[in-house]
Amino acid sequence: MADSRSRDAAVSDRMHTMFHRGSAIRQMFEEGLRLKEQYGADQVADVSLGNPDFAPPVTFNRALHIMAREQRRHCYMPNAGYPEVRDTVARHLNRKGLFEDLRGEQIVMTCGAAGALNVVFKTILDPGDEVIVPRPYFVEYRFYVDNHGGRLVLVETQDTFDLDVDAIEAAITERTRAVLVNSPNNPSGRLYPQSTLEALSAMLLRKERALGRRLFLISDEPYREVIYDGRRFVSPAAVYPNSFMCYSWSKAFSISGERIGYLAVNPALRTDDWTTLMGALAMSNRILGFVNAPALMQRTVAAAIDAEVDLRHYAAKRERICATLAEAGYRFRAPEGTFYAFPETPEPEADFIDRAKRHLLLVTPGSAFGREGHFRISFACSDATVALACRKLMTLAEACGLPPSKRRVPAHV
């Protein structure tokens, strides 16, 4: 140990490896900054990041202003959050039809969905336990599972990016503890249909009986309000009983920096000891160092919980991107939710990412999500950036010699 640490004695071996393994994306990010300096920020179409920088809903701003003016206290509350906030969230989820009889006691307020996922993993994972994740997937999941000694097991999705229930079933072993799904999906934009979720649930219930032990479903759904074409969101966490729902207001309210979200346990989860389960979740929140979700933000999102989120600007940007991708001849499926498109690269991925960079278009390679041969475009950006990105996508398609025969009209047009 002492020897290998000589590389950099200040950082653990484990962290050293993780840090330098992640350097490709960091280099890309730094190169992006360099390009913007060199050519001017308005010449570079950076559609690589999923950071919605829009004004929060008016209701949220108003609630925050009132909270600040009232100068309430800001001290600790129970680790699971303010009881009245938890009740408000539970009533909200019941009213929206996501659950029927959820109670405040089945909720833990968390530092965003990232906090919620870590709290769930800390609570349910023993070292070596496996968590199945369909790919393409949000890369942070690997760290969240690893933080608690778990092991990520990746499975393929269908060509349509819908879940492949058979593939998930085939991946279940004696050490499987949970399946983690993300709908609508970052990066594919796929919203899992109710029929798929019901098939998943039926399979998991069958496997639970066969294995004689619990299999959990964890649903990461921060994008659930960001969906298009009048589609209806069905929560995976509501379809399967032994589920944890992880939510964040980051995307819906454009407040990703405030770290406010929650986890909700499906009230139909079968346990003979709810006290231990909810107590252990609150204890995880505490001992991981979150302690509790930020106090002021708990009260603010509760006060603004019925804010109507106007996502029309995303819809317009999505139309524009999809129309361009179709016209230019890229192979892709129009996203049903999220603010990402995930087309196929018209040449080997690394070549295309490089070519795009030379044209000052910054996108994220599909391999960063475990699905090579694709690239992710984020349209959580200004109209000007979308317009610039679209022009560059057209140019790139021509440069790659995309023939008109490959053009495909997206599903929604």
Output the six-digit token pair for 29: 């990010």
Q: Interaction with its own copies in 373-402: which residues (CB under 8 A)?
A: none
Nearby residues of 327 by Cβ (< 8 Å), 6 or more positions away: 394, 407
229/212 Cα distance (integer angstroms): 42
Window contacting its own copies (CB under 8 A); options: 255-263, 329-337, 366-374, 387-395: 255-263
Stretches 31-39, 253-261, 317-325, 403-411: which one binds its own copies (CB under 8 A)? 253-261
Q: Which among 52, 23, 135 has a CA at the least distance from the CA of 369?
A: 135
Q: Site residues for its own copies, window 280-309 (CB under 8 A)? A: 280, 283-284, 286-297
Interface with its own copies in residues 131-190 (CB under 8 A): 140, 143-144, 147, 149, 174-175
Which neighbouring-strand residues pair with 155?
A: 134
DSSP 44: -
Least separation in angstroms between residue 8's CB and its own copies is 5
Binding its own copies (rule: CB under 8 A), the pick from 276, 310, 316, 351 is 276
DSSP state of 344: B
Residues 208-247 contacting its own copies, CB under 8 A: 211-214, 242
To its own copies, the closest distance from the beta carbon of 287 in angstroms equals 4
By CB under 8 A, tell whether 126 contacts its own copies: yes
Element (H, E) at 362: strand 361-362
Binding residues for its own copies, how many (CB under 8 A)? 91
The residues with which 264 forms a beta bridge, in sequence order, are: 107, 245
- Residue 235 tokens read as 């929560």
- Residue 286's H or E segment, with its range, is helix 274-287
Sheet order of strands, 243-248 included: 107-110, 261-265, 243-248, 216-220, 176-182, 130-135, 151-156
Residues in region 57-96 near its own copies by CB under 8 A: 61, 64-65, 67-69, 71, 73-77
* Phi/psi at 385 (5° precision): -65, -40
Position among 89, 93, 117, 390 found at the interface with its own copies (CB under 8 A): 117
Q: Pick the binder of its own copies from 56, 134, 189, 329 (CB under 8 A).
A: 56
CB of 29 to its own copies, least distance (A): 10
Q: How far is the CB of 405 from its own copies (least distance, A)?
A: 41
Q: Encoding tokens for residue 347? A: 């040449």
283 vs 399, which CB is nearer to its own copies? 283
Q: Between 157 and 250, whose beta carbon lies closer to its own copies?
A: 250
Q: Residue 146 CB, nearest distance to its own copies (Å)?
A: 8
Q: Which residues 3-42 are close enough to bind its own copies by CB under 8 A?
A: 5-6, 8-16, 18-20, 22, 26
CB atoms within 10 A of CB 391: 14
CB distance 339 to 50 below 8 Å: yes
Stretch that binds its own copies, among 119-127, 196-204, 314-322, 331-339 (CB under 8 A): 119-127
